């Protein structure tokens, strides 16, 4: 079927979108949701399974207390109410990667409900209302072999790995997000991004979108501007990067508008997102909740967290990442651009730790975002994975401040640190990097430079002080960058005045 895509500018002139985001967070508990199987990522297929997570007859599940704790902390961080009593429910459907033929989830009794998250887009704040955050288990993973697309259609055979079956998930569901049409793609992206930051700050998941430990389903519908009823929604499943969230919203808006402009009806269905083209394609027609025949799980006791425990967990919440960012920006005196670059480079925590170790914020930012970012890029690793610690960066800067070394020599100290040559002080000693500020040696070097560059010396004698730069350059070169440049300049001007 060919689709008519309406240009985004035309979509936003005619229609209002309603967004809905369902984000699945895989928790980083050591064991699964209802059994003691390990949750380590990347194990040999079907080695981390037992009768319970394989759904064998007679196997009895037991709730993982740590997963409940993480669910409550996520709920509290999202400003939710925490249920005093709630149950798990069976969501019945058949799928080969779901061995029990039902998923143990929560239905009308979620552990957390009625919250919100304030999302910032280009300096503007949008409140996203959270309908619920509930606990459930992950399914296994199917691999379809032989087809061109990796999907089941056209595949020769399929393999199922149940290692993932039963890993604890928290599903966080928003209420319809009604924002100005032109902002919808950016708000969707910002929401998922800020939710990810919050999850990371809570330490309840490794929050890797690329490994699927955070997955977003993007619901979208359009209605003609001014309509009092929401349109029919599509649900784009398992979108795996922030950029893709934004693109999926944009594409679906254009696609829905094409159908509505032609007088058609949008089908309520799930869709697949294609990273390579930024487009979606039809998945399956979406079941309504009643098709799942939810009923309370008879094999599990209800979860009834005491108010004392909930309050205790509230005390463990980290500072909200968005607020923390604003606080640090003010404390550090960074411009919006400097802050954005720092966050974008993944250097916020590193700069924070470097400042905590005694460096000035601008110096900390400078080293991480220039010299060290370049080296991380060259090595193809994350900034935080470089073999240089924030404490070492602070130490290097303190040696610069003390004029033991200058910025140029500091770069060589970083070379030494990355090569594992020891502490900054050891590297300076071993490589002979200290700045020369010995008066006799500097004076001799200045005399030599003056003798070798009589034309420049004459200019300086005539009052053209700017010409001193050329002499300083010659001396720094001669002394392999190790001269105290400030003192050299003073000596030149003294000798030629």
Tokens at residue 374, please? 């370049």
- Find the shortest distance in angstroms from Cβ 414 to Zn ion: 47
Q: Are 429 and 414 in contact (CB under 8 A)?
A: no
Q: 52-91: which residues touch Zn ion (CB under 5 A)? A: 52-53
Given 12, 21, 25, 37, the residue binding Zn ion (CB under 5 A): 37
- Alpha-helical (H) ranges within 63-152 are 65-77
Residue 50 near Zn ion by CB under 5 A: yes
Residue closer to Zn ion by CB (options 50, 300) is 50
Q: Is 122 left (phi over 0), alpha (psi -120 to 50) or beta?
A: left
Identify which of 74, 77, 80, 85 has the alpha carbon closest to the alpha carbon of residue 108.
Answer: 85
C-beta separation of 92 from 296 below 8 A: no
Cβ contacts of 494 within 8 Å, gap of 6 or more: none
CB of 99 to Zn ion, least distance (A): 10
Closer to Zn ion by Cβ: residue 53 or 83 = 53
Sheet holding 81-82, edge to edge: 81-82, 112-121, 124-137, 168-174, 15-26, 214-224, 234-239, 269-274, 279-285
Q: Which is nearer to Zn ion, 53 or 198 (CB)?
A: 53
> Contact region for Zn ion (CB under 5 A) — 2-10, 49-57, 114-122, 241-249?
49-57
What is the distance between the terminal CA atoms of the chain, rounded to a whole angstrom?
84
Q: Is 465 in the site for Zn ion (CB under 5 A)?
A: no
Q: Judged by CB under 5 A, does residue 165 bind Zn ion?
A: no
In the complex, least distance from residue 294 CB atom to Zn ion, rounded to whole angstroms: 23
User: What's the min distance (Å) between Cβ of 272 and Zn ion?
Assistant: 29
Torsion of CA 11, 17, 20, 21, to 10 degrees: 30
Taking the complex as a whole, how short is the minimal distance between the CB of residue 52 and Zn ion, in angstroms?
A: 5
Stretch that binds Zn ion, among 33-41, 221-229, 230-238, 384-392 (CB under 5 A): 33-41
Residues 6+ apart with CB under 8 A from 318: 77, 201, 202, 203
Stretch that binds Zn ion, among 34-42, 70-78, 127-135, 463-471 (CB under 5 A): 34-42
CB of 165 to Zn ion, least distance (A): 8
**Angle formed at CA 405 by CA 401 and CA 411, multiple of 5 degrees:** 105
In this chain, which stretch among 36-44, 91-99, 359-367, 400-408 interacts with Zn ion, using CB under 5 A?
36-44
Q: Residue 40 CB, nearest distance to Zn ion (Å)? A: 13
Taking the least distance from each CB to Zn ion, the nearer of 53 and 450 is 53
The candidate with the shortest Cα–Cα distance to 209, out of 251, 232, 252, 238, is 238
Among residues 51 and 333, whose Cβ is nearest to Zn ion? 51
CB 272 within 8 Å of CB 236? yes
CA 111 – CA 134 distance, rounded (Å): 5
> Min. distance of Cβ 169 from Zn ion in angstroms?
15
Residue whose CB is less far from Zn ion, 167 or 214 = 167
Alpha-carbon 358 to chain mean position: 27
Give residue for tokens 């309908």: 131
Q: Which residue intervals of 276-347 are DSSP H helices? A: 307-314, 321-332, 336-344
Residues touching Zn ion: how many (CB under 5 A)?
5
Residue from the set 11, 12, 27, 35 that interacts with Zn ion by CB under 5 A: 35
Binding site for Zn ion (CB under 5 A): 35, 37, 50, 52-53
């Amino acid at each position: 079927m060919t689709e008519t895509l309406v240009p985004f500018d035309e979509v936003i002139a005619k229609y209002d979108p309603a967004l809905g985001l369902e984000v699945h967070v895989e928790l980083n508990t050591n064991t699964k949701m209802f059994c003691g199987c390990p949750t380590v990522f990347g194990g040999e297929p079907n080695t981390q399974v037992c009768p319970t997570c394989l759904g064998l007859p007679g196997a009895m599940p037991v709730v993982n207390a740590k997963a409940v704790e993480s669910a409550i902390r996520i709920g509290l961080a999202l400003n939710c109410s925490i249920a005093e009593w709630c149950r798990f429910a069976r969501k019945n459907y058949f799928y080969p990667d779901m061995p029990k033929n039902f998923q143990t989830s929560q239905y009308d009794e979620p552990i957390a409900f009625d919250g919100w998250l304030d999302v910032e887009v280009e300096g503007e704040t949008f409140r996203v209302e959270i309908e619920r955050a509930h606990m459930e288990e992950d399914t296994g993973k199917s691999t379809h072999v032989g087809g061109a697309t990796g999907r089941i259609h056209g595949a020769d055979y399929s393999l199922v790995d149940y290692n993932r079956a039963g890993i604890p998930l928290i599903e966080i569901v928003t209420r319809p997000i009604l924002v100005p049409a032109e902002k919808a793609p950016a708000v969707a992206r910002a929401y998922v991004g800020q939710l990810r930051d919050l999850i990371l700050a809570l330490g309840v998941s490794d929050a890797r979108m690329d490994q699927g430990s955070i997955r977003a389903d993007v619901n979208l519908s359009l209605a003609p501007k001014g309509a009092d009823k929401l349109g029919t929604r599509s649900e784009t499943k398992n979108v795996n990067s922030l950029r893709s969230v934004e693109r999926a919203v944009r594409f679906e808006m254009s696609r829905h508008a094409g159908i509505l402009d032609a007088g058609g009806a949008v089908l309520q269905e799930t869709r697949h997102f294609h990273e390579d083209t930024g487009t979606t394609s039809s998945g399956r027609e979406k079941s309504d909740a009643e098709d799942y025949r939810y009923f309370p799980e008879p094999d599990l006791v209800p979860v009834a967290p005491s108010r004392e425990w909930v309050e205790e967990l509230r005390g463990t919440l980290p500072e909200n990442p968005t607020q923390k960012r604003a606080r640090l920006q003010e404390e550090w005196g960074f411009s919006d651009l400097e802050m954005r670059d720092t966050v974008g480079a993944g250097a916020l925590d590193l700069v924070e730790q470097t400042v905590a170790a005694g460096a000035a914020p601008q110096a900390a930012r400078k080293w991480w975002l220039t010299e060290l970012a370049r080296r991380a890029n060259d090595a193809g690793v994350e900034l935080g994975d470089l073999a240089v610690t924030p404490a070492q960066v602070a130490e290097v800067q303190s040696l610069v401040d003390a004029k033991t070394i200058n910025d140029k020599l500091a770069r060589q100290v970083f070379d030494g640190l990355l090569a594992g040559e020891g502490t900054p002080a050891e590297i300076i000693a071993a490589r002979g990097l200290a700045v020369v500020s010995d008066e006799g040696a500097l004076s001799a070097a200045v005399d030599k430079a003056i003798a070798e560059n009589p034309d420049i010396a004459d200019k300086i004698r005539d009052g053209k002080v700017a010409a001193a730069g050329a002499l300083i350059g010659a001396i720094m070169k001669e002394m392999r960058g190790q001269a105290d440049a400030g003192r050299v300049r003073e000596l030149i001007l003294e000798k030629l005045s």
